[in-house]
Amino acid sequence: MNPHRSRLAHFVIDVDNLDKGVTFWSAALDATEESLNPESSKVYRRLQLPDTNVRILLQLTSDLKVRKERMHLDLETDNVNAEVHRLEALGASRWSHQQERGHNFWVMQDPWGNEFCILQTEFPDLLTQREPWSSNA
């Protein structure tokens, strides 16, 4: 086997409207859009997260969602209810409240039906490095 390197580059989220996808996910994740070449930007938009080198890649598709995702984002927070309300104001919806194995979390859906979870704090040292959301965010 030839020596080589690899790393996780993107987490891809399907959307049917790239501009709305950028608006929602940028606000939800405090992300910044990165420019792509004009041909790619017809199908993709890339978001840089503030605290990791992994990017979110929004992919334009008209495919209908037909079942549960096999991969999804987990967002941790120090206030589950406040974060759920913040994301609902951005266009997300509650899917399922879960309480299992000592964890209390919400499964949410973005405006395109893609699932993601809102968890209690898992990594407190990393979470404290983030600026708090303003009361009107």
pLDDT (0 to 100) of residue 34: 96
**What percentage of the chain exceeds 70 in pLDDT?**
96
Contacts 24+ apart (CB under 8 A), 64-72: 65/14, 65/112, 65/113, 65/114, 68/115, 69/114, 69/115, 71/11, 72/114, 72/115, 72/116, 72/117
Phi and psi angles of residue 8, each rounded to the nearest 5 degrees, phi first: -70, 120
Q: What is the pTM of this model?
A: 0.82
Condensed to tens digits (0 to 9), the pLDDT of residues 5-32 reads 667 789 999 999 999 999 999 999 999 9
Condensed to tens digits (0 to 9), the pLDDT of residues 81-132 reads 999 999 999 999 999 998 877 778 999 999 999 999 999 888 888 888 888 9
Whether the per-residue pLDDT at 133 is higher than 80: the answer is yes
